[in-house]
Structures are given as structure tokens and as C-alpha cells.
């Protein structure tokens, strides 16, 4: 059986193993919540009200040699060699627990479960990052096409790509990520792992839900 990876799996071997294969599957239409927006630019500007609860930029999220050495082969392929993991055979594509997703290399907060949705592609998909400054983007011309690559701002880890076919009422963006580039931290573990400032995101959501039901 052929490997889903496009290289030989060795660290540092071959240029850009698997780069650009991410999210080739056409996403399924996302359920609408009734919002009507006329342009993608307006959607993006309107939706990018950040989840910022503290100035995370005060924390040093730069990559270290020790952090890279701790990566598994799959994590290394994706984050350091711009690789792509197989669809539907990765840790978070069908993951629904409440919490945040951080850079597996540096621990930088990147996405929340609040913005995660089922895109039908087999990769974890989000409508926006946890903060607009948490990620950087660059043009990717591999595989004879032009796409937008997404990288973590702190450690410069390859995360995946962003497309403009996401839920229109949530900004129109689909951040299609590799599970291997992420580490999930559940709501109940946020304080213990020093991400307690993000707990309020989920507390507020629980309160809103309770008030709606009353």
C-alpha cells in the first residue's frame, strides 16, 4: 500500500514533501445561520473580532531546537517540511471537544473549537484564527496553482492553507489545517497548562446558551 506521504518519511529529505496537497477535496456546503454579507472582504473585516483575552504576544513563541527535536516524524514533516497529512486519517478532523488548538512546536494559541466546523474535506477546518496576529500567510505556487499558505506567527510552523469557500455568514474563510501541526487543550485543562486566560471564551458561551434557553 502506498504511503499517504509524498516523501520517504525521513527528516530533512527531499524538497517540500507533500507540500500543496492539503484540502484538495471540495468542501461540503456549510450550514448557514442566516447572515447575509455581500463581499468576501466585508465578511472578513466584520468577522475578525479577535478572541484575544490577553496579550499573548508578550510570550516568546519562537521555535527552539529542543522543541523541534521533540516532534514526531509526522509533526516534523508537516511543520518543518511543509508536508500534508492524509485526509480523514488525522487526529482532529472529526474532533468536537471544547478547547483551543495551539502550535505543536511552540504552544502558541492558534484556533478555538468555537470556530471549528465540518468542511467535509477530512482535515480540521476553522473560520478564523484565535487572533488575526496568531498566523501569517504567504502565496504558495506549488502544484501549478496559486494558494495561500498559513504559518504560525511565532515559530513559523507550516499549518495548512486558507481558502475563500468557508461559511459566508462566518466570514467566508476556510482555514484548512493539518492535525499534526496542532495540539489540543481542552477547556478543563486550560488553567493547568497556563492558558487560563482563554477559559472566559467558553464561560461566556455557556452563559449565553443558558440565557437563550430560559
- Give me the percent of the chain exceeding a pLDDT of 90: 64
**144-201 pLDDT per residue, tens:** 889 999 999 999 999 999 999 999 999 999 999 999 999 999 999 999 999 999 999 9
For the chain, give me the number of helices (H) and strands (E)? 4, 9
The Cα 48–Cα 192 span in angstroms is 28
Selecting among 22, 150, 155, 176, the annotated active-site residue is 176
Residue bearing cell 492553507? 161
pLDDT digits (tens, 9 = 90+) for 84-114: 999 999 999 999 999 999 999 999 999 999 9
- Residue 23 annotated among the catalytic residues of the structure: no
Judge contact between 6 and 82, C-beta under 8 A. no
What CA–CA distance (Å, rounded) separates 147 from 161?
Answer: 7
How far is the C-alpha of 51 from the C-alpha of 49, rounded, in Å?
7
CA distances from 7 to 16, 75, 120, 157, 208 (A): 9, 14, 26, 19, 47
Threshold 0.95, pTM exceeds: no
3-state SS assignment for residue 110 = strand
Per the listing, cell 520517504 goes with 8
Query: What SS3 string covers 40-89?
Result: HHHHHHHHCCCCCCCCHHHCCCCCCHHHHHCCCHHHHHHHHHCCCCCCCC
The CATH classification number of 65-207 equals 2.170.150.20
90-116: b (≥16 Cβ within 10 Å) or e? bebbeeeebbbbbbbbbbbbbbbbbbb
Strand, coil or helix: what is 147? Answer: strand
What's the mean pLDDT in 128-134?
96
Amino acid at each position: 500500500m502506498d504511503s499517504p506521504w509524498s516523501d520517504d518519511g525521513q527528516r530533512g529529505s527531499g524538497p517540500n514533501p507533500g507540500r500543496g496537497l492539503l484540502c484538495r477535496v471540495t468542501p461540503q456546503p456549510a450550514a448557514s445561520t442566516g447572515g447575509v454579507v455581500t463581499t468576501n472582504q466585508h465578511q472578513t473585516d466584520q468577522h475578525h473580532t479577535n478572541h484575544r483575552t490577553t496579550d499573548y504576544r508578550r510570550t516568546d513563541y519562537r521555535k527552539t531546537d529542543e522543541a523541534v527535536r521533540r516532534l514526531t516524524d509526522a509533526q516534523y514533516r508537516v511543520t518543518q517540511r511543509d508536508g500534508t497529512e492524509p485526509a480523514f486519517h488525522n487526529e482532529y478532523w472529526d474532533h468536537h471537544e471544547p478547547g483551543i488548538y495551539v502550535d505543536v512546536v511552540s504552544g502558541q494559541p492558534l484556533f478555538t473549537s468555537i470556530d471549528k466546523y465540518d468542511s467535509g474535506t477530512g482535515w480540521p477546518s476553522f473560520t478564523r484564527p484565535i487572533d488575526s496576529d496568531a498566523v501569517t500567510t504567504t502565496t504558495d505556487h506549488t502544484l501549478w496553482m496559486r494558494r495561500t499558505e498559513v504559518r504560525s506567527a511565532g515559530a513559523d510552523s507550516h499549518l495548512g492553507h486558507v481558502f475563500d469557500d468557508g461559511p459566508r455568514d462566518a466570514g467566508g474563510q476556510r482555514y484548512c489545517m493539518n492535525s499534526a501541526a496542532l495540539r489540543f487543550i481542552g477547556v478543563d485543562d486550560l488553567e493547568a497548562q497556563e492558558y487560563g486566560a482563554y477559559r472566559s471564551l467558553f464561560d461566556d458561551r455557556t452563559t449565553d446558551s443558558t440565557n437563550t434557553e430560559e
